[in-house]
Amino acid sequence: MFKRNLTACAVALAFAGPALAQDSELGKIREEIKQMKDAYEKRIQELEKRLSEAESKAGKAEAAATKAQSTATKAEESSAKAETTATAAASRNSESAFNPAISLILQGTYANTSQDPNTYQITGFVPSGGEVGPPKRSFGLGETELNISANIDPYFRGVAIASLAPEGGVTVEEAYFQTLALPRGFTLKGGRFFSGIGYLNEQHQHAWDFQDAPLVYKAFLGNQLKQDGLQLKWIAPTDLLIELGAEASSGDQFPGSDRNKNGIGGSAVFANIGGDIGASTAWRVGASYLSASPNGRSYQDVDALGGPTTNTFTGNAKLAGVNGVIKWAPNGNATYYSFKLQGEYFRLKQNGAFVYNDAAGSNVFGQVAGSLDTSQSGWYTQAAWQFHPQWRVGYRYDRLNYSTLNNSIVTSGLGPTAADFPVLANHSPTRNTLMFDWSPTEFSRIRLQYASDKSRLGLTDNQLFVQYIYSMGAHGAHKF
């Protein structure tokens, strides 16, 4: 029994050895498979993580690209919109020929004068013609100005300004073309225009600081010089304003006259320099020279007996002048306070043949010929102080100097005496003027002005004016 059991155990042990060995090998294989599986799973997880991160980065990059594209699109749209708006604005502001800028200036006065405006004269100076006298007494309609302007095309601009007289009728103040595309700072103007000589001459009357022109403008330029001709102007490409100009004209306005001939009747040149002093002050100074050759320029006078006479001049007239202006406003902002000081000086020289004719009057001497040689000057200085956004006060002093006037008809004893030329009597006129105005907006102004005018020999004209100025429509900015 024992033997059988032992034999069974031996057999069992014989078979158990290989079985145990086989189980150990299987365990190793399983362990290797598990390790491999864990490694692959870890590798896959790492790859999946990298893939997820890459996809996230790609998504962000795509989102950023989309956002950038959207921003660029919006910027392009905004730029196009801005360009369209700018084009539309430029189109509106360019005053195109199909939609010109139109403005109307309404003016009127109430005048109270101690001397009759109908007998006004500037004694001692050859009458210049033009509307140089004070307005009529009581209520009166001033000059109404109609302004039409537009860019004709990319090369030219056109301006037409008509003056509607209170008595009726229309006169052309300015009607000219102006170039827009000349190179190197050049501009050409042609037609009828206010001459560039002096400081005040180019400005329209409603832009003046006083109701009327200075005496020197009245005596030497017939109130304001208009030229029918051409003007070439050049502005230097510098920080400092340097402006040079030349004009060729028919020369038919005082001190010239209508010569009814081919060619150029008058010429003018001018130069201006200006700049800034700090942030609050600006200045400009200038000089000008005008040459004319009047032929048969005449004016009416009376002889010693009170009979009408006609005096005629043919010769040469040369007008030279200098001017200056300085403006101040806090940091250049004239909304609240500003101050302006300006002045001009002119000298007029004339020499040529002078003819006296009283045939239509007392007929004492008939027609007498001689010569006239003059060298006379005049100047003014004025200041305007804006002490409140809507209120200004100003003062102007005018003076004309009789200087030299040689009338050979008188000095040579040809018959007529100085008493037969009362307009040319030795006299140096002066005038003091005070101004006070209120401008509720940039489109309206009401002015009170008082002047003590000694233009007439031995007489003082105390003048009180109330003036209104109203602007309607698209009116351009005034000159400096």
pLDDT tens-digit profile of 389-427? Answer: 999 999 999 999 999 999 999 998 888 999 999 999 999
Q: Model confidence over 128-148: pLDDT tens digits?
A: 987 899 999 999 998 889 999
Query: Given a cut of 90, is residue 233 above it in pLDDT?
Result: yes
For the segment 65-112, what is each residue's pLDDT rounded down to a tens digit?
555 555 544 545 554 444 444 444 444 444 444 578 899 999 999 999
Cβ distance 187 to 159 under 8 Å? no
Percent of the chain with pLDDT over 70: 83
Distance (Å, whole) CA 226 – CA 196:
9
Say which DSSP state 237 is in: S
Q: pLDDT tens for residues 284-307?
A: 999 999 999 999 999 999 988 888
Question: Can you give the pLDDT at residue 12?
Answer: 45
Q: How many residues make up the chain in this entry?
A: 480
What is residue 310's predicted lDDT score, i.e. its pLDDT?
92
User: Is 276 in a helix, a strand, or coil?
Assistant: strand
Q: What is the mean pLDDT of residues 155-166?
A: 91
pLDDT digits (tens, 9 = 90+) for 188-229: 999 999 999 999 999 999 999 999 999 999 999 999 999 999
Please say whether the dihedral angle defined by the alpha carbons of residues 241, 244, 250 and 256, taken in this order, is positive or negative: positive
Decide: 266 and 290 in contact? Cβ < 8 Å: yes
Tell me how far apart the alpha carbons of residues 30 and 340 are, in angstroms, rounded to a whole number. Answer: 107
DSSP 8-state assignment for residue 134: P
Three-state DSSP state, 184 = coil
Q: What is the pLDDT of residue 59?
A: 59
Question: How sure is the predictor about 360, in pLDDT bands with cuts at 50, 70 and 90?
Answer: low
In this prediction, residue 138 carries a pLDDT of 94
According to DSSP, residue 458 is labeled T
Span 352-379, mean pLDDT? Answer: 87
Contact 351, 372 (CB under 8 A): yes
Comparing CA positions, the residue from 450, 331, 336, 326 lying closest to residue 386 is 336
Mean residue pLDDT of the chain comes to 85
| pLDDT > 50? residue 19 | no
What is the C-alpha end-to-end distance of the chain, expressed in Å? Answer: 144
Average pLDDT over residues 168-174: 88
> Is the pTM above the cut of 0.75?
yes
Residue 132 phi/psi, 5-degree rounding, is -95, -15
CA torsion 428→434→435→436, rounded to 10°?
180
Note the pLDDT of residue 16.
47
Residue entry with tokens 């801005």:
82
Give per-residue pLDDT as tens, 42-62: 777 776 777 677 666 655 656
φ/ψ bin of 413: left (φ > 0), alpha (ψ from -120 to 50), beta (otherwise): left
**Angstrom distance (rounded) from CA 290 to CA 318:** 6
Alpha helices in 94-153 (DSSP H): none
